[in-house]
Amino acid sequence: MKYILAIDQGTTSSRALIVNHKGEIIAVGQHPFEQIYPQSGWVEHRLDDIWASTLSAIQDAIEKGGIDPLAIAAIAITNQRETACAWDRKSGDPLHHAIVWQDRRTSNRCQELKREGIEPKIQKKTGLLADPYFSATKFEWLLKSAQLSEKNLALGTVDSFLIARLSGLKSHVTDASNASRTLLMDLRKLKWDSELLKLFGIREDFLPEIVASSGECAITRGLDFLPDGIPITGIVGDQQAALFGQCCFNVSESKCTLGTGAFVLINTGNEPVFSQNKLLTTVAWQIGNHTCYALEGSAFIAGAAIEWLREGLGLIKEASELDTLAQTVSDTEEVVFVPALTGLGAPYWKTEARGMLKGLTRGTTRGQIARAVIEGIALEITELIEAMEKDMDHAVPMLKVDGGASRSRLLLQELADLLECPVVRPQIVESTALGAAYLAGLGIGYWKNTEELETFWQPETSFEPRPVPEHIAHLKMKWTLAIESL
């Protein structure tokens, strides 16, 4: 019996999963790590914390699964994407804290690019917008403001850093899906763009080699918890991994991952579709010479709003209590919540926006606030999908969902009602790790093709839209007025 080890390195924790040939998850290890907030709008991670939590997660998963590390056929890596890392390529030592995708310190630089009229050129080449969300301005800040030594400097996203450490510093690579999130890769050529490198003052030799998402790119070396020679055969950004894990292999199939943020991706096939509605065009995955593209809408806050209710306001003790509290009322009346706690993502891209809880009265209850948070998350996702439908010129027939916040039945029902299409939660919601594992398995012939993988995907619950036009009209009116007032 052989297994795939899938590493899912996320924003708040690192996870490792053992996947068998039937696509079943037989063991999971998970370790959180510290979030660092040096000042308002800044978010950082220690690279050594990421590495230590990854090692602990791997060791836990192997122990829980009761497997021999020699039985690991391949390793998959999926990761928080735009987070910028810098390390010494000879020693592997971090040269600065990682600058997390949520970080907004380069907002002024992005505004400068927009004022100079450079954003349309960036979008044409990369499919992205000039926003501090992406890696290039973070790399630029590290080079200029952190004054990193250029000797032995390696830059990359989290996947590159982990592969460097796993390979005994022999490999400096990233895949096309992660590279497409940097503002530095030509979306069609799948190569670093010399004009963009010059714009941000980044030397190409600082950056990793761009490889396919599936296929051997490195092997383990010099680790005391894994044998040498295990191939790393799957690399993919977390949201693209979830699209693959949800088996959205055909054009117009879509998914929404409800994690810290909400990320909607729709498969657009082998040609990039450039958005007219401020969505992102991204590489979904590359297998061999075949590249699949996607449109993406990103909302920075989803599950994080539920955490805010729990940790910030103390309205609930556990996330699982959210639906129960929200169902103590049937309507929020005029209360509306805009989840812009770290700015607004697509389709607005308002870095300066802040969250809003509007329409409060003396009679507003805890239940109404909880329900407003659920509605606010559903409404921001609805706007993303409506923008996708305009770009694709047809309606989304069904939305697959995953991630921690997909446990909220009330949220998924609101989504179905707003979208007027079924919202489907699968039996296994670990879509991100599974997607990476599937790509790694395809890379070594562990699974034959995507048709075999499709047999693993099974629906758990389908939320069908209800005919509630007055409710939907009222929600959208409150939302529009709130957004206009930001």
Over residues 102-125, the pLDDT tens digits come to: 899 999 999 999 999 999 999 999
Cα–Cα distances in angstroms (integers) from residue 207 to residues 72, 139, 173, in the given order: 29, 10, 8
Question: 């129960």: which residue's tokens?
Answer: 324
Nearest to 241 by CA among 128, 77, 381: 77
* Inter-residue contact 69 to 226 (CB < 8 Å): yes
Q: Which structure tokens are listed for 252?
A: 């117009």
| CA–CA dist 209, 392 (Å, integer) | 32
- Give me the phi and psi of 454, to 5 degrees please: -60, -25
Judge whether residue 351 has pLDDT over 80.
no
* Inter-residue contact 172 to 209 (CB < 8 Å): yes
pLDDT band, very low/low/confident/very high, at 92 (cuts 50, 70, 90)? very high
Partners of 191 in beta bridges:
186
pLDDT band, very low/low/confident/very high, at 147 (cuts 50, 70, 90)? confident
Instruction: Enter the DSSP assignment of 204.
Output: G
Output the average pLDDT for the chain.
Answer: 94
Pick the CATH number of 3-239 from 3.40.800.20, 3.10.580.10, 3.30.420.40, 1.10.150.130: 3.30.420.40
pLDDT at residue 148 in the model = 87
pLDDT band, very low/low/confident/very high, at 352 (cuts 50, 70, 90)? confident
pLDDT band, very low/low/confident/very high, at 387 (cuts 50, 70, 90)? very high
Q: What is the pTM of this model?
A: 0.92
pLDDT at residue 176 in the model = 97
pLDDT at residue 111 in the model = 94
Q: Which structure tokens are listed for 321?
A: 């209590």
pLDDT at residue 41 in the model = 86
Residue type, 210: I
Q: What share of the chain is helix, strand, coil (3-state, %, to 5)?
A: 35, 25, 40
pLDDT at residue 339 in the model = 92
| CA–CA dist 128, 138 (Å, integer) | 15
Judge whether residue 386 has pLDDT over 90.
yes
Please indicate whether residue 256 or residue 349 has the higher confidence score (pLDDT): 256
| Tens-digit pLDDT profile for residues 436-477 | 999 999 999 999 999 999 999 999 999 999 999 899 999 999
Cα–Cα distances in angstroms (integers) from residue 389 to residues 187, 226, 266, in the given order: 22, 46, 10
Judge whether residue 146 has pLDDT over 90.
no
Judge whether residue 346 has pLDDT over 90.
no
Give the pairing of strands 3-9 and 13-19.
antiparallel
* Inter-residue contact 160 to 77 (CB < 8 Å): no
| CA–CA dist 44, 36 (Å, integer) | 5
* Inter-residue contact 127 to 278 (CB < 8 Å): no
Q: To the nearest whole percent, how much of the chain has pLDDT over 90?
A: 86
- The number of residues making up the chain comes to 486
Residue type, 117: G
Give the pairing of strands 44-45 and 98-99.
antiparallel
Helix (H, G, I), strand (E, B) or coil at 369: helix
| Tens-digit pLDDT profile for residues 194-244 | 999 999 999 999 999 999 999 999 999 999 999 999 999 999 999 999 999
| CA–CA dist 54, 15 (Å, integer) | 7
Domain boundaries, the chain: 3-239
**What number of other Cβ atoms are within 10 A of residue 250's Cβ?**
11
Q: What is the mean pLDDT of residues 295-317?
A: 91
**What number of other Cβ atoms are within 10 A of residue 462's Cβ?**
12
pLDDT at residue 123 in the model = 94
Q: What is the mean pLDDT of residues 3-32?
A: 96
Cα–Cα distances in angstroms (integers) from residue 134 to residues 107, 172, 364, 381, in the given order: 11, 20, 39, 20
